[in-house]
């Protein structure tokens, strides 16, 4: 399964990429019903529940100057989440997950989360900048 969204932003791209490289900020906004997240420098562990099925995700974050990659593996399959700088006003979020049946069951929830993120990202970045004093 592959999902892709281009999101227009009004904040400085460097600040946006710094905030989006934090798994505790981004992962709960992408994956459905996250119940806990533990971040250790550039790795993360996530527990969540989709309908009646629990899931566990662990992964690593790779940060570049214009791209962030979250490479993860879960008990429901693995994948890569990429955030790319398109230009100074736009980022592209791409999620590629293996095509297992359990992964396809989560497609509507993840797609819905990406749509919400697309609509609300500017405001959520604004609030996070206030919280972090960036």
- What pLDDT, in 10s, does the model give residues 34-61? 999 999 988 999 998 877 788 889 999 9
DSSP 23-88: HHHHHHHHSTTEEEEEEETTEEEEEEEETTEEEEEEEEEEE-SSEEEEEEEEBTEEEEEEEEEEET
What was the pLDDT predicted at 33? 87
Q: Which residues of the chain have pLDDT under 70?
A: 99-105
What gap in Å lies between CA 134 and CA 12, rounded to an integer?
A: 11
């Amino acid at each position: 399964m592959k999902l892709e969204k281009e999101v227009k932003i009004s904040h400085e791209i460097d600040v946006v990429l710094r905030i989006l490289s934090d798994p505790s900020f981004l992962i709960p906004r992408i994956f459905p019903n996250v119940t806990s997240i533990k971040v250790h420098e550039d790795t993360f562990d996530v527990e969540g529940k989709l309908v009646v099925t629990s899931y566990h995700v662990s992964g690593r974050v790779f940060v570049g100057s214009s791209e962030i990659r979250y490479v993860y593996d879960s008990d429901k399959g693995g994948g890569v989440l990429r955030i790319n700088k398109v230009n100074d006003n736009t980022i592209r979020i791409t999620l590629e997950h293996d095509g297992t049946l359990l992964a396809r069951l989560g497609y509507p929830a993840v797609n819905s989360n990406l749509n919400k993120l697309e609509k609300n990202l500017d405001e959520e970045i604004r609030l996070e900048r206030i919280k972090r004093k960036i």
